[in-house]
Structure 1
């Protein structure tokens, strides 16, 4: 009996550690289109910005911004100083109406993209997000825990 429990415990730990996979879930309708990656053009204008605060014992920090480029496209930018824990694989970036991601409340969040390494990232947005989206969230969905948040002002 003890051996079955030990095997189950090891399986559960492995499942949690590997649950944030390094590949976006193609069946998830909220997953960003991996082909639509677009880099900013020309001068970048900061619209709102903030600093990420770590959560859940992670080391998540860095600048988070809503920006636009000369072509009129909008992006969520993680700064050169962005870092987070990636021991579980990739994490997801969201815009949210508060510092706590509320996936059960439709309209309170907008999925932005997948990130799997520290450093600067630009995530193309379909348009300027509604003003109700006041925070950026770094989230590991499979583990169901926040890695960090930043207030956008």
Structure 2
């Protein structure tokens, strides 16, 4: 006997998964440097335009920048947005366009992003050359929200 999923149940399941990345009072991400610490003079080392995934409206540019003191940052440009830009939306560097959290060394967690707009996330050093992609990821639902090839 063939069973058909109830459309209402299916819609509620999709809503539950996507809402897992919505605003959360218990998570207050420190996603943006205070204005005094955000670099004013920087050079883009590489970057790309984000491609939306999982029916999100993710857009903007993902860049690796270096400031005039030699410090490196991941920069999301002022037009950055995503469908659920609060909660557990995270920024990664990856060695491919598909984040594989089971493969240690294939990614670098950069930060949690809590809202739309420009962000500068400090990096400890220049990123490893094996990281060829920028990824926007919903940790709670374990689904991709966007990616770009860094060129």
SS in 1 for 2:83: coil
1:80-99 residue CA offsets vs partner (Å, 9 max, x unmatched):
11111117734000000000
Cα distance change, pair 144–68 in 1 and its aligned pair in 2 (3 A): same
State the match for 1:98 in structure 2. Answer: 96
Cα distance change, pair 57–18 in 1 and its aligned pair in 2 (3 A): closer
| Structure 1 gap ranges (5+) | 1-8, 25-31
State the match for 2:126 in structure 1. Answer: 128
1:99-120 residue CA offsets vs partner (Å, 9 max, x unmatched):
0000000000000001121111
Q: In angstroms, what is the RMSD of aligned CA positions?
A: 2.7
| TM-score calculated relative to the size of structure 2 | 0.79
| Structure 2 gap ranges (5+) | 1-9
* 1:139 is the counterpart of 2:140: no
- Number of aligned pairs? 138
1:5-47 residue CA offsets vs partner (Å, 9 max, x unmatched):
xxxx9x97786455336416xxxxxxx9x49946343411110
State the match for 1:109 in structure 2. Answer: 107
Runs of 4+ in 1 over 2 A off after TM superposition: 11-22, 34-42, 87-90
State the match for 1:76 in structure 2. Answer: 74
| TM-score calculated relative to the size of structure 1 | 0.78
* 1:19 is the counterpart of 2:20: yes
Q: Which protein has the bigger helix share? A: 1
Stretch moving more, 101-110 or 85-94? 85-94
